[in-house]
Amino acid sequence: MGKISVIGAGSWGTALAHLLENNGHDVTVWSCIEDEIRMLDTYHEQKEKLPGVILSDKTCFTGDLKSALTDKDVVVLAVPSPFTRSTSKSMAPYIRQGQIIVNVAKGIEESTSMTLSQIIEQEIPRAEVCVLSGPSHAEEVGRGIPTTIVVGTKNKDTAVYLQNIFMSDVFRVYISSDIIGIELGAALKNVVALAAGIADGLGYGDNTKAALITRGMAEITRLGIIMGGRIETFYGLSGIGDLIVTCASMHSRNRRAGILIGKGATYEEAMKEVNQVVEGVYAAKAGLKLAKEHNVTMPIIEQVNRVLFEGASPKEAVGELMVREKKVENMDIRTLYRNSDNVSW
């Protein structure tokens, strides 16, 4: 079995630590928050963010980054996306050549439009950076509820190795080489989930949510293909799978924040109420920036930005989506490439 460090002791990091220790691995959990380490060391439970999930007595908890990263087979990076760069920079001196780092956060850096794996590769060029994503709420993974995800790597042998590390009878793992597609789906679905929550907060129904999910996926796919992702990725676990669960579940911090915004809260008030990082707020600006850079129309992402940052009312934003110019729903993807300058989406 492997020696694995989980960097980040929030709900997702804790759930994955629990999964990995149940798989028989030697697990170390790191946090930069002293109170968090004391709580985990005392109770072996993340009482604030994942209550009821008890970690093994064998799990090691530490605030010392060097010891957490020394002599590890796999490092799981589970900090919220806004802290990916700063944490990676702090990790860099202790990472050996070829160290496998599995990023499990979902987001895009607003200032650079870089995906999280690109940030890690920039800060730790000696590492082998992989991603893990899919419809996987920490609350359910921690309870052993059957879950299926995908691991993205550039190397097939590493993919199979990680598949074996994470796989269990309640956690099924698929493998893929489409890292950019996995990451874009994972990040931008959070913005669509904000929109779905806003619709819920406005009192709209299932018809509205179904429209947001399907048209939101169309937007993400358009951008993703132009950026090098594969269409099957967006209609797989890390695309439509993750989008559905994030838009539909009350476990979703993005949906919960959206509900509050739909009821009149600002995004700052909503984030404070949810009391966790709402990744969609950070991904919204980055998603719109990427859309403009690649000349892709993304009306849902655009309207979410207007609500979050420009003071537009949620009801007005939905109205803008409904009265846009008429469109066709589907177009052969080959036509898009042949006539990209003339396509109206």
Q: Which residue has the tokens 């109206």?
A: 344
* Cα 292 to Cα 6: distance, rounded to the nearest angstrom: 36
* Cα 24 to Cα 58: distance, rounded to the nearest angstrom: 11
Phi then psi for residue 76, to 5 deg, are -100, 115
**Residues sharing a CB contact under 8 Å with residue 257, sequence separation 6 or more, in sequence order:** 194, 197, 267, 270, 271, 273, 274, 278, 280, 281
User: In terms of Cα–Cα distance, which of 340, 245, 243, 260 is closest to 300?
Assistant: 243
The answer to whether residues 31 and 59 touch, using CB atoms and an 8 Å cutoff, is no
Q: Is 189 a catalytic residue?
A: yes
Among the listed residues 189, 263, 285, 289, the single catalytic one is: 189
What DSSP line would sit under 124-183, residue for residue?
Answer: -TTSEEEEEESS--HHHHHTT--EEEEEE-S-HHHHHHHHHHH-BTTEEEEEES-HHHHH
* Cα 40 to Cα 60: distance, rounded to the nearest angstrom: 9
DSSP class of residue 108 equals: B
Q: How far apart are the first and last CA of the chain?
A: 50
Report residue 40 as tokens: 């985990």
Q: Which residue has the tokens 């177009």?
A: 331
52 CB burial (10 A radius; 0-12, 13-18, 19+): exposed
Report residue 158 as tokens: 């590493």
Q: Which residue has the tokens 């995800």?
A: 149
* Cα 95 to Cα 93: distance, rounded to the nearest angstrom: 6
Catalytic residues: 189
